[in-house]
Amino acid sequence: MRTGARLAALLGALALAAACTGAQDDGGDGGGVAAAGTVRILAGSELADMAPLLERAAEETGVTAEVTSVGTLDATRTVLSGEADGAYDAVWLATNDYLRLHPDAERRILTETSIMTSPVALGLRPDALDRLGWRPDEVTWAQVHEAATAGDLTFGMTDPTRSNSGYSALISVTSALSGAQSALTAEDVAGSATRLRELFAGQRLTSGSSGWLADAFRQRGDVDALINYESVLLGLDRDGAADLEVIRPLDGVVTARYPLTTLASASPEAGEALRLLGAYLRGDEAQRALTQETLRRPVAAGVTAAEAIPEGQRRELPYPGSLDVADALLDAYDGELRRPSRTLYVLDTSGSMEGERLAALQAALIRLTGADNPAGQRFRDREEVTLMPFDDTVVSTDTWTIDAERREDALAAIRSGVDSLTAEGGTAVYASLIEAYELLAAEGAQDAFTSIVLMTDGENRDEVGAADFEDFHRALPEEQRHVPVFTVLFGDSDRDELRLIADETGGELFDAVGGSLDDAFQEIRGYQ
């Protein structure tokens, strides 16, 4: 789901029965404050599956919930920056552990109520399990590393700089491969770097959200495994989307606890409404429903987990003990541990882009050249970046590689290329896309996450049309056909046209009409 996309679950009217109030964590009685009619919640994107339960909760609470979906780490940054104040009453994320590492967290959040849990696990296709000869109850992260290093295992995982499932997986494998016996230290991170690079050489899918990653894995039969929340993996297996053996490695997991968290900036009325909603969701009836429907583990002691959820415990691995170590781990992953990126920006510079639209495009791209931006919000070391502006034809093709030792030179060259963009001519969308794929074919196979970003502010005006592109794309060799196109809706572009391109190529559509180009380009980084 897009950052800022609205998943509205409008809940009906009533007050919660007093019997539910004993279930909340914060212990307050509301102080006689009347509950607000609406609460605004910034929630992890994977919580879309809670919408039916929230709708039923409407019959038991007088609260309307407006839910905005976003990645856990992106939401954390929104809270810490103060942008959430006044815009949201609560956050509902997989964990607050990263948030709690920041010294400013204490004054930003008021109460936390854990609703359910789900560990990050490994989903393995049965044929891969048979090929590797593994016993599901005995698999370790160390074995996963060995298989990936040998080229015997490929997998997908979300980007740790955007998504908690990816960051939790990164903590898990770093803990296992470093031999850490407690919270990770800087020495643990540095000492396991070589083995982590070997492991991530096997990664074939990345994304900014757990939901998109699961869909991509379902469509890609050539990827052996998926690292994601246990609930997501079990859901793929239950729904027939993918036949998976769900494994919790013996050497430890990190568990999402989904605390419904009231922000300190929320009004007393919103705080009371959130207390009522949290208490309801922790009640036995709701807990039975959520474990059966979402395959997460209940927190109510008297409620049994759904039959599909495996029994037994695994060692719980802690988050890093300090913000410095947590951020160092993210920086290391983004800059040196993960596979490199290869990104082609196919950019509409037709006459309709002249003026404010071109300026917005240039500003969004130049922001990605900020070397001091947080991990996941900038061009990466070892990334190969190509600008392909087009109007009636592709105007130019310029490529830069960002070398750690000459980073600023490469970033300055990209900025110069962006500054030189001019707007004139028509709009040849499909012909330009075909030329981008032909460039990749001419370069040959690369060990990199390769993607194309298409930004246009209008409809295709060239004789090469959608049917021509579809025929071309379907005739490509499999490896090139898997290169996704992430399309950016902007100006007067055709949503249906861009959605079809994204669907055809296994990419995604990002909306810069309802949001901004800057936000869209930032969010795409999690998928590259």
3-class SS letters over 279-294: HHHCCHHHHHHHHHHH
Lowest pLDDT segment from 12-21, 86-95, 147-156, 387-396: 12-21
The C-alpha atoms of residue 479 and residue 470 are separated, in whole angstroms, by 16
Contacts of 214 (CB under 8 A, 6+ apart): 226, 228, 232, 235, 236, 241
Q: What CATH topology corresponds to 5-116+256-298?
A: D-Maltodextrin-Binding Protein; domain 2 (3.40.190)
| C-alpha torsion angle, residues 508, 511, 512, 518 (rounded to 10) | -50
Please state the rounded mean pLDDT for residues 52-66: 87
The C-alpha atoms of residue 504 and residue 468 are separated, in whole angstroms, by 13
- Name the DSSP class of 88: B
* Residue that has been written with the tokens 């757990």 in this structure: 210
pLDDT tens profile 106-155: 999 999 999 999 999 999 999 999 999 999 999 999 999 999 999 999 99
State what percent of residues in the chain have pLDDT above 90: 76
The C-alpha atoms of residue 208 and residue 45 are separated, in whole angstroms, by 10
Please state the rounded mean pLDDT for residues 376-391: 93
Is residue 21's pLDDT more than 50?
no
Homologous superfamily of 118-255+314-330 in CATH? Periplasmic binding protein-like II (3.40.190.10)
The C-alpha atoms of residue 263 and residue 216 are separated, in whole angstroms, by 34
Six-digit token string for 489:
């809706």
**CA 220 to mean position of chain CA atoms:** 18
pLDDT tens profile 456-478: 999 999 999 999 999 999 999 99
Please state the rounded mean pLDDT for residues 64-90: 90
Is residue 17's pLDDT more than 60?
no
The amino acid occupying position 200 is F
In this prediction, residue 37 has a pLDDT band, given cuts at 50, 70 and 90, of confident
Homologous superfamily of 340-527 in CATH? von Willebrand factor, type A domain (3.40.50.410)
List residues bridging with 511 in a β-sheet.
489
Is residue 370's pLDDT more than 90?
no
Six-digit token string for 119:
């560990």
The C-alpha atoms of residue 104 and residue 65 are separated, in whole angstroms, by 26
The C-alpha atoms of residue 192 and residue 200 are separated, in whole angstroms, by 12
In this prediction, residue 62 has a pLDDT band, given cuts at 50, 70 and 90, of confident
In the chain, domain spans: 5-116+256-298, 118-255+314-330, 340-527
pLDDT tens profile 322-355: 999 999 999 999 989 999 999 999 999 999 999 9
By the 8 A CB rule, do 326 and 76 touch? no
Is residue 16's pLDDT more than 50?
no
Burial 140-174 (b: 16+ CB within 10 A, else e): ebbbbbbbbeeeebbbbbbbbbbbbbbbbbbbbbb
The C-alpha atoms of residue 282 and residue 299 are separated, in whole angstroms, by 7
Please state the rounded mean pLDDT for residues 306-321: 91
Quickly count helices (H) and strands (E) in the chain: 21, 19
Which residues in 324-397 belong to E strands, given as ranges?
A: 341-348, 384-390
The C-alpha atoms of residue 114 and residue 101 are separated, in whole angstroms, by 18
The angle subtended at Cα 344 by Cα 466 and Cα 160, nearest 5°, is 110
| Highest mean pLDDT of the ranges 15-24, 211-220, 266-275 | 266-275
In this prediction, residue 32 has a pLDDT band, given cuts at 50, 70 and 90, of low
The C-alpha atoms of residue 406 and residue 381 are separated, in whole angstroms, by 10
> Is the C-alpha dihedral spanning 274, 275, 278, 281 positive or negative?
negative
By the 8 A CB rule, do 58 and 11 touch? yes
Lowest pLDDT segment from 171-175, 213-217, 370-374, 524-528: 370-374
The C-alpha atoms of residue 249 and residue 419 are separated, in whole angstroms, by 49
Lowest pLDDT segment from 8-22, 265-279, 483-497, 498-512: 8-22
Q: Sort 345 into a burial class: Cβ within 10 Å, 0-12 / 13-18 / 19+.
A: buried
- Name the DSSP class of 95: -
Q: Residue 122: which of 144, 100, 142, 107 has the closest Cα?
A: 144
Percentages helix, strand, coil for the chain (3-state, rounded to 5) are 45, 20, 40
- The predicted pLDDT at position 28 comes to 41
Average pLDDT over the chain reads: 90
pTM: 0.86
Q: Residue 371: which of 339, 340, 414 has the closest Cα?
A: 414
Q: Do 340-527 and 118-255+314-330 have the same topology in CATH? A: no
Six-digit token string for 11:
């809940």
The C-alpha atoms of residue 279 and residue 295 are separated, in whole angstroms, by 20
